[in-house]
Amino acid sequence: MEYRLVPMTEGHIPQIAALEAACFSRPWSESLLRDLLGSRHSHMLVAEGADGTVLGYAGLTAVAGEGYIDNIAVAESCRRQGIARAMLEEFIRRGREGGLAFLTLEVRASNAPAIALYEKLGFELAGRRRRYYDDPPEDALLMTLEFAGKE
C-alpha cells in the first residue's frame, strides 16, 4: 500500500474526524482537531494515500521535555500494513532528536495488537489506570519509551 506521512492540515480534519468516529467510542471533534492543529505543543501526522485519502493519523503532544502520544488511528481496511508503526517510528525519531526524556501513551488493556506493536518498538508497561475507558468500561495500560541515557 502506498502512502506518505505528512503534517496534518486543515483539509485533513473532516476525514480525521470520520476516522475518529469509526475507531473510538469518544471521538475527538473537528473543533478539537483544529485546536490541536494550532497548538505549538501538538504534532499531528497523517498517513495519506496517493489520492489524498487519510489512511491513518497520530498525534503527539510535547511539553517540558516529555512526549505524550494522544491518539493513533488507522482505517480498518488499512490495518496491519505498517502505517501505525511508521507513524510511531517518526515520533520516536522526533522525540530522540528533540531531546524528549520519554514518550508515553495509554492503550486499552484488551488491544493486544497495539500492545504488541508498542512492545516491539521498545515501549514498556509503566502502570495501569483502572476503568480509564468507558463505553465499554476497561482499564488502560500506561506504556512508556524512555530516551534519557539511551542511544
Residues with a known catalytic role? 106, 118
Pairwise CA distance, residues 140 & 111, whole Å? 10
Grid cell digits, residue 6? 505528512
Q: Lay out the sheet containing 138-146: strands in order across.
A: 3-7, 42-49, 54-63, 66-74, 102-108, 138-146, 124-133
* CB-CB contact of 129 with 109 (8 Å): no
Pairwise CA distance, residues 5 & 85, whole Å? 11
**DSSP at 118:** H
